[in-house]
Structure 1
Amino acid sequence: MENPATPKEKRTIKTKSKPSWLRQFNDWFHLWIGIAAGIPVIIISLTGCVLVFESEIGAMLRTKYEVERPAGAHLLPPSVVRAKVLEQLPDMQIRRLWYYGEGKTVRLSPDNSDSLIFANPYTGKVLGMEDHEDIFEFFDEGHRHLWFSREVGSKIVGWSTAIFVVLTITGLVLWWPKNWTIRELKQAFTIKWSAKFKRVNYDLHNVLGFYSMIIALLMSFTGLMMSFRFVNKSVLDLLGGATDRGAEVTAIEAGPTTVPVTMEGKVDLVWKLVTTEIGEFKKDEISIHFPKEDAKWIYACTDMYEGTWRELNFDVNTLALLSNSHAKISEDTPANWMRRSNLSLHVGTFGGLFTKWIFFFASLICGTLPITGFYIWWGKRKKKTGRKVRTSAAG
């Protein structure tokens, strides 16, 4: 017998359309590959949080070596600092010095020791020694190699970073609202703190994951440039190609008219030229090396500002500036700028403390995503198991 109900009285049964194979693959990849890469991502992200503020924390730890600038005193040149330190530590072989500026200590790195020496830049008095293998070295090893050997760990980190890039994109697909209604937009952009933990955890994964996406991709992409040569080369080629520092080295600027005879005098003169004439940013902050016997140039590093720097090489005989030096930041090519600024873009130092805090929280969020994501999967798994048990019991 036919149902006498009118069409208006009939209930429309909605059938849920099956997702496309592309969406199914997206969901599968985000879940299972995300679980597989979860632990490396957690370690890389959380160690990165600490390393973002390495310079600030290091400066705080070095306050015990603070020095006062005597009235009318000036920083001692490298040869004098080295000579005075060697009088106190005669067994050390010292070539590398790092000046942090007026009123701050000078750091010396011996070739025959893992210790770092901190000295008064006005008197040369040794203020203390520290092991180079500090807590930041520990976190850096975890960030770069997961505390494995360099050969094995760097590959795991590199491929885990590449996977994370894809996970970020697949996560965006999962986050994307199906209908851009006010209700769905509110759910996509806000965390419902008053809800149960399961819902809060879901929001922490989706909402915070979305807000940190741009910074996460920037950190990951710059990390890939460090991990894979072909990525680095492709980016630099796209930007016009970086200067080939392996090409023949020639003089690009003439040296001073009068050049000292001794190597100590030459290094001191380079130090003076860089800190008074060549440097543009934080001129009194400089790293300078006494060359080895067979070296062809004297190395100095200046313009260490907001995550970038400028490396300079001077002919060991004429003190002419050589072509294997960095150009001024304002005059450099886009490719060379990218190569020099990659670390700054990776850790967020390009905008000072403001961008550092942004990168810190973004890295922290990235470290929590595998945890909140795993909990979401675990909750759904338990829910499915519970349904099967109830169905079996009912049967």
Structure 2
Amino acid sequence: MSNHSTTKSILKKALLRKKKKSESTFKYILFLLHLWLGLIVGGVICFIAITGSLYVFKHEVEDLSVYSSIHREAPAESIVSIDVVQANFEASYDKTPHKITIPEKTNHNIRVQFTERGKAGITAFADRETGEIIGELSPSVPKFFNTIMFLHRWFNMENFKLGRQITAACTLVFMVLLISGLILWFPKTGKKNAWRNKFSFGFRYKFSVWNRDLHINMGMYTFIFLIVVAWTGIFFTYGWVKDITVNSLKPAELRQEASHSHNQKSQRKPSGGNQQKKKALEVNLDVLLAEANQHLNYTGDLSVMLSGKGISSPTIRKKNTHNLLGAQLYDDVKFSDKGKLMKVDLFKDRPLYQKVGSMIKPIHTGEILGLKSKIFAFILSLFAAYLPISGYIMWFKKLKGRSEKQSA
């Protein structure tokens, strides 16, 4: 037999193993599906998971790079006017800031941001007492993390829509692999020590044994977390995922209204670009801040948001961690451009579908519980990256074993 035909025979046996006597047809087909899908998309899943793990500590790395600008030697005894901070930023950069954040900690300075879609933007720091611009985040740091994010979401492809579809499809396949792995993992009923064996690890044995146990058993330990991360990832690409996760929680009348509004929007002709410029604010920001604090009477990082995604008018946003799990939830107080109070939007008062929708992204990125959930998300991402690697190792070991057996 020629080497070519021998290799072909080995590959065929490795991809189409014989059905075991005690194995059901369903599990046999499921095993082949799990194997083939894993071999095809395993590398892509590994890449998505690794880039995701690199992005987890974006804010911490950025803050570390400008540590001296953020941290004060001593806590501030007073706080400067927000209008002074805005004026100093505009004088330094000739741009109106989009967001001014006052940290809860009095030994931290004020963060001022000007954001641009797809670009690093400007992040500067103002002295908490004087409002003087004392430092700036190097554009290279957010540029690096933007690249990581583009790689994670659409492989930084020029045709980002195609890249997003590929990423989402592979993530969906990853969920299929997790579910099929769970079904294959379940032990046979009546078998002695079946459940105990499924929860044991062979770390004291050779590498191939603990690699197998890590792939199979640890995959089950982390199953629910990996499913949640994958689901919240494809939420941003597939409309049907959003419908299941958020829109299904809306009252029937709101769902009909949203559908009607979407149809009208799709039929509307694009404007000729004669949009009016946003009017300048006619109010003192400190006045808005004082009024907002009357409604948000608790401690937390506070942001003055002048524009940005979902922000059409001045909004005061406060981070609220005063809950059972310490989750980072946000309350908003919205004003008109003339300073009239428009709405007090507290997280606890929002309908369920809005609460769920606002938590999708922080759950996916690991920000929902602060640093502790970020550490967990980082470890989980690394394990998600190792799952296909361990699967490849198991398959190549069998392939090597068949090759040695064939040549013997």
- TM value normalised by structure 1: 0.78
Aligned to 1:12: none
Q: Does 1:189 align with 2:193?
A: no
Answer whether contact 1:236 1:338 (CA < 8 A) is retained. yes
Q: Does 1:67 align with 2:72?
A: yes
- TM value normalised by structure 2: 0.76
Cα distance in 2 for residues equivalent to 1:82 and 1:317:
17
Q: Secondary structure at the match of 1:83?
A: helix
Q: What's the CA shift for 1:171?
A: 0.8
Aligned to 1:279: 296
The one-letter code sitting in structure 2 at the alignment partner of 1:362 is L
Aligned to 1:173: 183
Larger radius of gyration: 1
Aligned to 1:36: 40
Cα distance in 2 for residues equivalent to 1:20 and 1:203:
22
Aligned to 1:106: 110
The one-letter code sitting in structure 1 at the alignment partner of 2:64 is M
Q: Alignment identity in percent?
A: 21
State the Cα RMSD in Å.
3.1
Cα distance in 2 for residues equivalent to 1:36 and 1:368:
15
Gaps of 5+ in 2: 1-18, 263-279, 322-326
Answer whether contact 1:144 1:157 (CA < 8 A) is retained. yes
Q: What's the CA shift for 1:296?
A: 6.5
The structure-2 alpha-carbon separation of the partners of 1:208 and 1:90, relative to structure 1 and needing over 3 Å to count, comes to: closer
Cα distance in 2 for residues equivalent to 1:96 and 1:42:
35
Q: What's the CA shift for 1:282?
A: 4.1
Q: What's the CA shift for 1:213?
A: 0.6
The one-letter code sitting in structure 2 at the alignment partner of 1:142 is L
The one-letter code sitting in structure 2 at the alignment partner of 1:40 is V
Structure 2 counterpart of 1:228, from 227, 232, 238 = 238
Q: What's the CA shift for 1:346?
A: 1.9
Q: What's the CA shift for 1:371?
A: 0.3
- Superposition pairs of residues 4-83 of structure 1, within 5 angstroms: 16-17=20-21, 19-65=23-69, 66-68=71-73, 72-74=77-79, 76-83=80-87
Aligned to 2:153: 144
Aligned to 1:117: 124
Aligned to 1:288: 305
Answer whether contact 2:76 2:107 (CA < 8 A) is retained. no
Cα distance in 2 for residues equivalent to 1:290 and 1:371:
44
Q: Deviations over 1:318-360 (max 9, x none)?
A: 51224xx7x3121121111100111232234334444333333
Q: What's the CA shift for 1:83?
A: 1.5
Q: Deviations over 1:101-137 (max 9, x none)?
A: 3332222234688332222132122222224434332
The structure-2 alpha-carbon separation of the partners of 1:144 and 1:177, relative to structure 1 and needing over 3 Å to count, comes to: same
Aligned to 1:259: none
Q: Secondary structure at the match of 1:34?
A: helix
Q: What's the CA shift for 1:309?
A: 2.4
The structure-2 alpha-carbon separation of the partners of 1:355 and 1:86, relative to structure 1 and needing over 3 Å to count, comes to: closer
Answer whether contact 2:127 2:134 (CA < 8 A) is retained. yes
Cα distance in 1 for residues equivalent to 2:216 and 2:177:
12
Cα distance in 1 for residues equivalent to 2:162 and 2:63:
32
Aligned to 2:99: 96
Cα distance in 2 for residues equivalent to 1:189 and 1:208:
9
Q: How many residues align?
A: 353
Cα distance in 1 for residues equivalent to 2:40 and 2:137:
39
Gaps of 5+ in 1: 1-14, 248-261, 391-395
Aligned to 2:363: 345
